[in-house]
Amino acid sequence: MSGISAPRGTKDILPGEVEKWQYMEDIVRRVCARYGYREIRTPLFEHTELFQRGIGEATDIVEKEMYTFTDRGGRSITLRPEGTAPVVRAYLEHKLYGSAQPVRLFYHGPMFRYERPQAGRYRQFHQFGIEALGSQDPLMDTETILVALTIFEEMGLEGLHIEVNSMGCPRCRPMYREGLKHYLKGRLDRLCPVCRTRYELNPVRILDCKENTCREELEQVPEIGDYLCPECRDHFELVQRYLTSLGRPYSLNPRLVRGLDYYTKTVFEVIAPGMGAQRAVAGGGRYDGLAEECGGRATPAVGFAAGMDRLLLALESQGKELSLSRELDAFVAIVGDKARMMALKVAVALRDHGFRVEMETEGRSLRAQLKTADRLGAAHVIIIGEEELGRNAAVIRNMEDGGQQEVPLAQLIESPESLSLQKISG
């Protein structure tokens, strides 16, 4: 091939690897069903304006990470960098506010951000997420965190850690902004150039800066907790009380501000140990103003999204064996040209009975066929040979112990379950 490879920051998920994704997706589906979340699938691209308005103009995502292009009709289109704004758009567009509230939705699929690729950070990555729209109850914030933790536990992840904070609301956040700006004003020349521009546009983002100089200047920074209005304070206290009553440990991180501007009240991240800089496997929170920001009716909502690529890395770094099914129940081998027709019949019959079966097509020696069957991970090889055909029989070879047994062809075709053959794959 002429050396064309997958674009930087993307990857192929090959057979062998794909089963691990299916394993994660199955758990997401199962847990979401238990909590009443139903799947939604939104387009991979949206009008750029949705993300500009939803995520916020002065965020890294909108400023420099979106895959935006003009389509042939002259519209500005963006590959979705996240799933929340599209779900809110769909909720409004299809008037889901007309059905029983809150509406609980989940999704999974690829997202796109033009970031600097490194371990755990890609340009096409995969998220699953849940969004509960139409409730302002702090119980829903707690439920969201619980769904995340339940899914991660069922995947077998250990040592996860939850950080929570409150971002306040349009009533109290402006006061915090002012307090923050007041504190930072005399320190501006010691902040990094990016934070200096953030100072005017989006000062809260400065709390998230990873530069050492900025971190030093932030040591005594005022905390948003001291500025919350009574409603936000009560809400946050209830979320914490519910978590505690469920025996779910968490820590308060007053610097947790998240990279998207739509958050109000509760925000949280789930951190996996030993993951270096990309240690957040999930993040989310409440976004009571997003629906209005998108031009719709006011709709309180809360949700989270998890990075599935990172979850897989975390699972692997913890040495977790993902329960993967075996590849193949049986390989049908052929000895002699006259056996080909019967081999085809046997393979089709076994497949019709639900077995996973491959058959020989290349006319190789039996030895070579057994080797192929072994490489495919087949549990059994069914040998259809001219000699056995004369006796209306076939041979079943157990690949584990090498044991062989001659069986009547009719039984193999009509009731394979009655033989030593077993479906070993789920």
Residues in contact with ligand HAM by the rule CB under 6 A? 82-84, 113, 115, 120-122, 125, 127, 129, 131, 259-260, 280-285, 287, 303-307, 309-310
> Shortest distance, CB of residue 357 to ligand HAM, whole angstroms?
38
- From the list 349, 375, 344, the residue with the least C-alpha distance to 359 is 344
Distance CA 349, CA 357 (A): 10
CA distance 163 to 248: 11
Residue 264's contacts (CB-CB under 8 Å, 6 or more residues apart) are 167, 168, 169, 170, 173, 285, 286, 287, 288, 289
- Regarding beta strands 161-166 and 251-252, do their DSSP bridges make them parallel or antiparallel, or are they unpaired? parallel
Nearer Cβ to ligand HAM (83/416):
83
The answer to whether 87 and 63 have CB atoms below 8 angstroms apart is no
Q: Which is nearer to ligand HAM, 148 or 350 (CB)?
A: 148
Element (H, E) at 37: none
Token pair 């506010």: residue: 97
How far from 386 is each of 103, 292, 342, 344, CA to CA, in Å?
A: 63, 74, 10, 14
Shorter beta-carbon distance to ligand HAM: residue 127 or 135: 127
Task: Compute the least distance from the CB of residue 76 to ligand HAM, in Å.
Answer: 21
* Contact call for residues 187 and 180 (beta carbons, < 8 A): no
| Pick 82 or 329: Cβ nearer ligand HAM | 82
CA distance 248 to 271: 14
Q: Which is nearer to ligand HAM, 129 or 300 (CB)?
A: 129
| DSSP summary character for residue 329 | E
Contact of 65 with 32, CB cutoff 8 Å: no
Measured from the CB of residue 9, what is the shortest distance to ligand HAM in angstroms? 8
Indicate the residue among 121 and 196 with the shorter CB distance to ligand HAM.
Answer: 121
3-state helix/strand/coil string of 278-323? CCEEEEEEECCCHHHHCCCCCCCEEEEEEEHHHHHHHHHHCCCCCC
For residue 147, give the amino acid letter: V
- Shortest reach from residue 217's CB to ligand HAM, in Å: 24
- Specify the DSSP element, H or E, that contains 373: helix 366-376
Nearest residue to the partner ligand HAM, using Cβ: 307
- What is the strand order of the sheet 76-79 is part of? 45-47, 76-79, 68-70
Residues 270 and 144: beta-carbon distance below 8 Å:
no
Residue 42 CA to residue 50 CA, distance in Å, equals 13
Q: How far is the CB of 402 from ligand HAM (least distance, A)?
A: 45
Q: Are 27 and 140 in contact (CB under 8 A)?
A: no
Nearer to ligand HAM, 131 or 360 (CB): 131
Angle at CA of residue 315, ends 107 and 266, nearest 5°: 50
Least Å distance, CB 21 to ligand HAM, is 14
Q: Which is nearer to ligand HAM, 279 or 345 (CB)?
A: 279
Provide the minimum distance between the beta carbon of 285 and ligand HAM in the complex, in angstroms, as a whole number: 6
Residue closer to ligand HAM, measured from CB, 18 or 368: 18
Q: How far is the CB of 287 from ligand HAM (least distance, A)?
A: 6
Rounded to the nearest whole angstrom, what is the least distance from the CB of residue 303 to ligand HAM in the complex?
3
For ligand HAM, give the closer residue by CB, 202 or 411: 202
Q: How far is CA 234 from the centre of its chain?
A: 32
CB of 108 to ligand HAM, least distance (A): 11
In whole angstroms, how close is the CB of 277 to ligand HAM at the nearest point?
A: 11
Cβ distance to ligand HAM smaller for residue 82 or 388:
82
Q: Which residues pair with 130 in a beta bridge?
A: 106, 304
Note the maximum CA span of the chain: 96
